[in-house]
Amino acid sequence: MCLICVEYNKKRMTREEMRKALPEMVMFAKTEEEKNHFKKLQVLGDSMDEKSLEEFANDYTSNLGKKTR
Ligand SMILES: [Zn+2]
């Protein structure tokens, strides 16, 4: 799972902190899926549209709860 989304969604991480962490997350992503997820976050983090970023993190986090793992 992606801690960036979880922490951001809980407001324990700011957008600025997220943007600083993301280049490293992209670099060390284990799968292509993960890498694409982080890249998507980078795009959202760089845009001025904070609402889209919040929705993305919120969607991701609520989907986590639905998975039976
Ligand atoms: Zn994420």
Report CA(68)–ligand 1 centroid distance (Å). 19
Report CA(36)–ligand 1 centroid distance (Å). 10
pTM of the model: 0.88
Delimit the domains of the chain by residue range. Answer: 3-61
Residue 61: how many other CB atoms lie within 10 Å: 17
Q: Could you tell me if residue 40 is left (phi over 0), alpha (psi between -120 and 50 degrees) or otherwise beta?
A: alpha
- Please report, in tens digits, the pLDDT of each residue of the chain (69 residues total): 899 999 999 999 999 999 999 999 999 999 999 999 999 999 999 998 899 999 999 999 999 887 655
Report CA(41)–ligand 1 centroid distance (Å). 7
The burial of 63, by beta-carbon neighbours within 10 Å (0-12 exposed, 13-18 middle, 19 or more buried), is given as exposed
